[in-house]
Chains A and B, each alone.
Chain A
Amino acid sequence: MTADPPATLREAVSRISPGSSVAAGLALEHAIPFAVGHELIRQGTDDLTLVGPISDLLFDQLVGADAVSRIRAAWVGNVSAGTGYRFREAVESDEIAVENHSNFSIALALKAGALGVPYLPTKSLLGSDVFAESDLFRRGEDPFTGDEVAQVPAIEPDWAVVHAQRASPAGDVHLWGNTGIVDPAVGAAENVLVTAEEVVDSETITSDPSRTAITREQVAAVVECPFGAHPSPVTGHYNRDNEYFLDYHDRTDTQAGYEEWADEWVYGVDDREEYMGKVDADLSVTEPTVAAEVRYGQ
């Protein structure tokens, strides 16, 4: 599948149906696709299963909007402040189901999906309640040595959502900075939605093929979306807006507080451009490191 021509955020996100499983926040605290999350909230897409490693504010915001029925993740909260109040309250009142993972087990689950195998073994999890209290993982034995292993079953999400620095209209994607579990998640997902700081011509992509992290046959939609990851940082584009994380924490310890916050930052804006107009922080990159020239040729 080649991506359709660049879509609007609204149109691309409308393809994610209620009830879908969505992997997001895949580069950990870097390049979190907040623009997509906010558009899911505006469209009222609900009954979602969220998949991710440390999901930071994105999952908490979707839980607050009552968009989530299940979370399969290693950590859900607010990296700057610890607690994610909407997540905590939803779990404590049994409003959402949670499958507790470690970061490596969620990575392996997606890698198994990407490899097309039913599970992968690991030496992690052993001796933990992440393993013992779960009906997900299985105790196994290395058939060659007899050693104990934990078996992690594959996850194949309906969607993986990735924010990147640049992509071509066809869906070939350059991204740089730490990649977390982007690679296994893209491999495992049925569909991939890419938001990019810039949509560029294909010659820009093919000038540096070693930087291409995702290719077009994996991608269902590409959206040009500057500042699509704010308040998380994007290498080369903008820094982390820590005050925003703290403000969210201060305002969302009650559902009413969350709704007031969402009225301002999600429902109260039509699109990402209007959203960025509200951000009052200097996030500019102060040391614009330029990589040494890379040569290809024939």
Chain B
Amino acid sequence: MASEEYTPRELMVTAAAAEIDDGDTAFVGMRLPLIAFQVAVSTHAPNSMAVYESGVVRDSPADGFIHTMCDLPNLNRAVSTTGMIDIMSRLQRGDVDVGFLGGAEVDRYGNLNTTRVAAGDREIRLPGSGGACDIACMAGRTVLLMPHEPRRFVEEVNYVTSPGHAADGRGRKNHPAPGGGPDALVTSKATFGFADGELYLRSLHPGVDADEVLGDFPWDVNTAPDVGEGEVATTAEPTAEELDLIRTFDPDGFWT
């Protein structure tokens, strides 16, 4: 039920929220995933839990806008405010179902770079991994989120901050990291899945043309029919309820 105008980032939030199943333990990083968990737990996934690397564990939305996982509304009335080794241990034991990751660059196997990118004959230093490498290595599955910009889609990332699938068509089977690896990529124009470890176009956001999306990649991107996943779908628009929630959680549109 499309309701009213929404921003591309609001749609990214609802598409990310849809990746949290009821009962999941979600590892929630920074920016849009902060809002996505709050939407998910308020709608289709009331029994989901969020864990944050700072040590926060929540089963409900924060009662107030949060810039970071450590803002007081996210700590207030949390289930637990523990430490990082507790949280990362859950990840390492395989107890985290889904983690969210962003990146400056992604390749066809879902390898992500947030450390340093090439710019002509020099390199630009980015902030680095934070917990991203840990989530990428050890979460049951990961969902990647990034703005849809051609420079971000590269044949080979300059630095593998957060490992994706092995480049041999076997996904994570030959990969030394224990987690399930990338399961979806959500951009501001489309959503992608991974089949045999390689990215494919799964759905287009309303009004977006397939050629426009596929032309942004330096390789021939598979689409849903190529990998036996039916047709390329249209991404569900945010419902009125979801938009209300997003605008409650982020009233000034700081992230969305």
Which residues of A does B touch, CB under 8 Å?
27-30, 53-54, 73-77, 79-80, 82-84, 87-88, 91-92, 100-105, 107-108, 111, 122-130, 132-133, 148, 176-184, 232-233, 235, 239-240, 242, 285-287, 289
Contact = CB atoms under 8 A, between A and B. Distances in A.
A74 B137 contact: no
A41 to B, nearest CB: 21
Contacts of B71: 29, 233, 239-240
A124 B115 CA distance: 17
A102 B163 contact: no
A128 B163 contact: yes
B154 interface: no
B161 interface: yes
A123 B81 CA distance: 24
A177 B162 CA distance: 28
A240 B81 contact: no
A177 B75 contact: yes
Interface of B is mostly: loop
Given A178-B82, A180-B83, A102 B133 contact: yes
Contact of A53 (B81, B92, B130, B159): B130
A70 to B, nearest CB: 15
The CB with the most chain A CB atoms within 10 A, among B77, B81, B134, is that of B134
Contact of B177 (A123, A133, A232, A286): A123
Q: How large is the interface on B (under 10, 10 to 19, 20 to 34, 35 or more residues)?
A: 35 or more
Interface string B39-54: 0000000000000111
Contacts of B127: 54, 75-77, 82-84, 87
B128 to A, nearest CB: 5
B72 interface: yes
A101 B129 contact: yes
Contacts of B52: 178
Interface stretch (B6-14, B61-69, B234-242): B61-69
Nearest to B76: A289
B137 A128 contact: yes
Interface in B123-145: 123-134, 136-138
A74 B138 contact: no
B214 interface: no
The CB with the most chain B CB atoms within 10 A, among A74, A76, A102, A240, is that of A102
B160 interface: yes
Contacts of B175: 126-127
Contact of B123 (A92, A100, A179): A92
A181 B90 CA distance: 15
Contact of B129 (A74, A127, A132): A74
Given A30-B75, A180-B54, A239-B71, A126 B163 contact: yes
23 contacts: A27-B54, A29-B54, A30-B54, A74-B131, A75-B129, A76-B128, A77-B126, A87-B125, A102-B130, A108-B85, A124-B137, A125-B133, A126-B137, A128-B177, A148-B176, A177-B75, A178-B75, A178-B82, A183-B85, A184-B85, A235-B72, A239-B71, A285-B72
Contact of A123 (B72, B77, B92, B123): B92
The CB with the most chain A CB atoms within 10 A, among B85, B127, B178, is that of B127
Contacts of A125: 133-134, 137
Given A30-B54, A178-B82, A181-B85, A235 B128 contact: no
Nearest 3 A-B pairs (CB), nearest first? A77-B127, A178-B55, A29-B70
Contact of A178 (B56, B88, B124, B160): B56
Contacts of A179: 55, 81-84
A125 B85 CA distance: 15
B83 A181 contact: yes
A289 B88 contact: no
B227 interface: no
Interface in B60-113: 63-64, 67-72, 75-77, 81-85, 88, 91-92
